[in-house]
């Protein structure tokens, strides 16, 4: 049978040519690149929607867009950013880095890997095509609460089916990550030697497989309630619209950890490198991640404190939510302890990681405020909630993704990037993300409701500050694109270690930059010397 094997063994660094390389891709790096480029495009589409929102909110009253279009902007901004930008960016990073970090030849199921990617552009074409239906885009909020969402016009099925496709893509991507990590590790790479980015992604993948089908079920019930006469969310038939919220948030709360756990992993890789110290409390980090994932299934109704739940449920969900602060606190303390007495340097990935640490923690604290059920009656559906989740998702998840890109871009392209431009991008982002979102805390506490195109005049000043911050933040992201394009085209040659003076640890730094087209064809042997931490 030997002749069959040679077909694959002989093509060492030969890349397939032309468009077929991308359409028929099975290489984890090519698929990772497609995911990352797709995420970047969606980041700008979702960002453009945010610009429309901030422009409309520049002044009280209605100026540029009609209210229905405004509502479809807030709805699709969320769907595009969550499912189109942040999640695919993390999957792209997983594709690129996990096989490199565990010494594998590729992802475990390469064809399915391609399938999970190529579903995404079609899913978003379907979603965004709904703007061209007679009723305009979906406008009932990304959470799609009935009965409002059931009053949608003919954009309704495209939104539902787009979500089904995104779910299918996520589940296949997650299965691939789990199987790759559980089955493809190099000999000696025991689970407690696994880089933290792999660990957090492994746990994220479990969450994805557990909750994406539940979301699929929830939107399927919406579809049948709308078109086939079922009564899941219709009290006249014995159902309950609040039941939708329970099912949705059973998905939705683990989903927020899906959006942040890989970010924890990224930061846990970068902070030790630029502190020139091993990560403090590696095992604790792993157990904290697992605890967060476990608890995330027990807190969903903190999104529903004002729906008139029984008192016992209010108390249970308040307390279980606050419990999550403990493992999250362990992580924050461990990152601080890693830097303690370290020899710190402030390259762009480190800058983004540090601002992640500060700003994500602010978002965590406002989350604790929201977890207090009696206080939440005041905060519910105000801009305070908007400020909270943008702190954890923009200055949290998105900043971590940027940190990851700045950390590994030379490994991908083989070139160093323009450090000055990267630092300019960092400072503009870090300053104006606060100008953008911090005033929204004040607006929310003062009672400005979210998802409304108009507001009372006393909210004007802080809305102007916020919009100004939004425009500068949005424009400064163009620097990121310029920098990436420059780095792909050329620049100083990157060494295998890239950050040589920081001595980064991990298998990805043992291969050349750019990483060869095929990863480890013969697995390396792993010892404590080339893992991320010291066992004590």
Partner 1 sequence: MANAHSPADSAKYYVPHGSIWPIFGSVSLFILMIGASLTLEGGEGVPGTAVLFAGFALIAVLFFGWFGKVISENEAGLYNMDVDRSFRMGMMWFIFSEVMFFAAFFGALFYARNLSVPWLSGAGAKQMTHSLLWSHFDGGWPSNGPSRLGPHEDGSFETVPALGLPLVNTLLLLTSGVTITIAHHALRAGNRAILKIFLAATFLLGFLFVYLQATEYREAYTELGLQLKTGIYGSTFFMLTGFHGLHVTIGAIMLTVIWFRVLRGQQTAQNHFAFEAVAWYWHFVDVVWLGLFVFVYWL
* Residues acting as catalytic residues: 77, 106, 142, 169-170, 253, 255, 257, 268, 302-303, 328, 331, 450
Nearest CA-CA partner of 508 in 499, 522, 497, 495: 497
Q: Which H helix or E strand runs over 2?
A: helix 2-9
Residues between 459 and 498 that touch Cu ion (CB under 5 A):
none
Selected binder of Cu ion within 253, 331, 411, 441 (CB under 5 A): 253
- By CB under 8 A, is residue 536 in contact with partner 1? no
Residues 229-288 binding partner 1 (CB under 8 A) are 229-232, 234-240, 242-243, 246-247, 250
Which one, 13 or 501, has the nearer CB to partner 1? 13
94 binds partner 1 (CB under 8 A): no
Determine the residue with CB nearest Cu ion. 253
User: Toward Cu ion, which CB reaches closer, 106 or 376?
Assistant: 376
Residue 210 or 479 having the CB closest to partner 1: 210
The least distance separating Cu ion from the CB of residue 430, rounded to whole angstroms, comes to 26
Beta carbons of 299 and 324 less than 8 angstroms apart: yes
9 binds, among Cu ion, partner 1, none (CB under 5 to 8 A by kind): partner 1
Residue 525 backbone phi and psi in degrees, to 5: -95, 135
Number of Cβ within 10 Å of residue 511's Cβ equals 16
Cα separation, 309 vs 318, in Å, equals: 12
Closest CA to 100 of 36, 22, 180, 25: 180
| DSSP at 449 | B
Nearest distance, CB of residue 120 and partner 1, angstroms:
9
Q: How far is the CB of 17 from partner 1 (least distance, A)?
A: 11
Q: What is 289-344 written as a DSSP string?
A: HHHHHHHGGG-GGGG-GGG---HHHHHHHHHHHHHTHHHHHHHHHHHHHHHTT---
Note whether 151 binds partner 1 by CB under 8 A. Answer: no
- Only segment of 61-69, 167-175, 420-428, 429-437 that touches partner 1 (CB under 8 A): 167-175
| Binders of partner 1 in range 213-232 (CB under 8 A) | 213-214, 216-218, 220-221, 224, 227-232
CB of 130 to partner 1, least distance (A): 9
Nearer to partner 1, 30 or 269 (CB): 30
Distance of CA 272 to the CA centre of its chain: 22
Cα gap 92→454, rounded to integer Å: 38
Chosen residue from 148, 209, 372, 416 binding partner 1 by CB under 8 A:
209
Pick from 281, 428, 414: which is nearest to 351 by CA? 428
Number of residues that bind partner 1 (CB under 8 A): 86
The total of other beta-carbon atoms located within 10 Å of residue 160's CB is 23
Cβ(120)–Cβ(61) below 8 Å: no
Chosen from Cu ion, partner 1, none, partner binding at 253 (C-beta under 5 to 8 Å by type): Cu ion
Size of the site for Cu ion (CB under 5 A): 1
Q: Where are the alpha helices (DSSP H) in 340-398?
A: 348-371, 373-379, 383-392
The Cα 497–Cα 410 span in angstroms is 10
Instruction: Pull the structure tokens for residue 385.
Output: 């909630």
Q: What's the angle, vertex CA 431, arms to CA 428 and CA 433, rounded to 5?
A: 95
Select the binding partner of residue 211 from Cu ion, partner 1, none (C-beta < 5 to 8 A, by kind).
Answer: partner 1
Distance separating alpha carbons of residues 62 and 75, to the nearest angstrom: 18
Backbone angles phi and psi of 533, in degrees to 5: -150, 165
Spatial separation of the C-alpha atoms in residues 55 and 43, rounded to whole Å? 18
Residue 390 CB, nearest approach to partner 1 (Å): 29
CB of 133 to partner 1, least distance (A): 7
Q: Which does 493 bind (CB under 5 to 8 A by kind): Cu ion, partner 1, none?
A: none
Which position among 82, 171, 393, 430 is part of the footprint of partner 1 (CB under 8 A)?
Answer: 171
**Binding at 73: pick from Cu ion, partner 1, none (beta carbon under 5-8 Å per type):** none
Q: Which of 37, 55, 210, 284 binds partner 1 (CB under 8 A)?
A: 210
Contact pick of 86, 174, 448, 483 for partner 1 (by CB under 8 A)? 174
Residue 8 binds which entry of partner 1, Cu ion, none, with Cβ cut-offs from 5 to 8 Å by kind? partner 1
Strands in 105-226 per DSSP E? none
Site mask for partner 1 (CB under 8 A), range 95-124, x = bound: ---------xxx-xxxxx-xx--xx-xx--
Instruction: Compare residues 120 and 400 and give the one whose CB is closer to partner 1.
Output: 120
Tell me the per-residue interface mask from 24 to 63 with partner 1, x by CB under 8 A, - otherwise: xxxx------------------------------------
**C-beta atoms surrounding 187 within 10 Å:** 10
Whichever of 253 and 441 has its CB closer to Cu ion, that residue is 253
- Coil, helix or strand at residue 415: strand
282's CB contacts (< 8 A; 6+ apart) are 192, 196, 532, 533
Minimum CB separation from partner 1 for residue 402, in Å?
28
How far apart (Å, rounded) are the C-alpha atoms in residues 417 and 180? 31
CA nearest neighbour of 167 among 200, 120, 131:
120
For Cu ion, the binding residues (CB under 5 A) are 253
């Amino acid at each position: 049978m030997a002749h069959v094997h040679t077909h694959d063994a002989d093509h060492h660094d030969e890349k397939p040519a032309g468009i077929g390389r991308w359409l028929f891709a099975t290489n984890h790096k090519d698929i990772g690149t497609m995911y990352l480029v797709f995420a970047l495009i969606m980041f700008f589409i979702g960002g453009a929607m945010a610009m429309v929102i901030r422009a409309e909110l520049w002044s009280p009253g209605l100026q540029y867009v009609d209210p229905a279009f405004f509502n479809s902007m807030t709805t699709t901004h969320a769907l595009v950013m969550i499912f189109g930008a942040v999640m695919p960016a993390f999957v792209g990073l997983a594709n690129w880095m996990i096989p490199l970090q565990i010494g594998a030849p590729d992802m475990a199921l390469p064809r399915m890997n391609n399938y999970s990617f190529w579903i995404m552009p079609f899913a978003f074409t379907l979603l965004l095509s709904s703007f061209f239906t007679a009723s305009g885009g979906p406008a009932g909020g990304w959470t799609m609460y009935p009965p409002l969402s059931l009053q949608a016009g003919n954009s309704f099925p495209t939104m539902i089916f787009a979500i089904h496709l995104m779910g299918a893509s996520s589940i296949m991507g997650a299965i691939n990550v789990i199987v790759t990590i559980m089955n493809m590790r190099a000999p000696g790479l025991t689970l407690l030697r696994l880089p933290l980015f792999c660990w957090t992604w492994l746990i994220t993948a479990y969450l994805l497989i557990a909750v994406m089908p539940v979301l699929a079920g929830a939107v399927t019930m919406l579809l049948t309630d709308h078109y086939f006469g079922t009564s899941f969310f219709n009290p006249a038939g014995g159902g309950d619209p609040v039941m939708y919220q329970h099912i949705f948030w059973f998905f939705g709360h683990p989903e927020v950890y899906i959006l942040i756990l890989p970010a924890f992993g990224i930061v846990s890789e970068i902070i030790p490198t630029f502190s020139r110290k091993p990560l403090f409390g590696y095992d604790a980090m792993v157990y904290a991640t697992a605890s967060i994932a476990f608890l995330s299934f027990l807190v969903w109704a903190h999104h529903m404190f004002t729906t008139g739940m029984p008192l016992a449920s209010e108390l249970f969900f308040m307390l279980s939510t606050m419990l999550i602060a403990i493992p999250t606190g362990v992580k924050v303390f461990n990152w601080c302890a890693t830097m303690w007495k370290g020899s710190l340097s402030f390259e762009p990935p480190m800058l983004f990681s540090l601002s992640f640490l500060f700003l994500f923690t602010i978002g965590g604290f406002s989350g604790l405020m929201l977890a207090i059920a009696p206080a939440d009656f005041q905060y519910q559906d105000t801009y305070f909630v908007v400020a909270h989740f943008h702190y954890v998702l923009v200055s949290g998840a998105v900043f971590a993704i940027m940190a990851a890109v700045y950390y590994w871009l030379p490994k991908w392209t083989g070139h160093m990037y323009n450090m000055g431009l990267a630092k300019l991008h960092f400072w503009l982002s870090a300053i104006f993300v606060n100008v953008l979102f911090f005033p929204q805390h004040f607006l929310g506490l003062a009672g400005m409701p979210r998802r409304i195109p108009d507001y009372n005049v006393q909210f004007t000043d802080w809305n102007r500050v916020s919009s100004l911050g939004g425009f500068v933040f949005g424009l400064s992201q163009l620097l990121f694109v310029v920098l990436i394009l420059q780095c792909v085209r050329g620049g100083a040659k990157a060494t295998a270690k890239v950050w040589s003076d920081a001595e980064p640890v991990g298998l990805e730094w043992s291969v050349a930059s750019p990483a060869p087209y095929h990863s480890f064809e013969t697995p390396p042997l792993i010892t404590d010397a080339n893992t991320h931490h010291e066992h004590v």
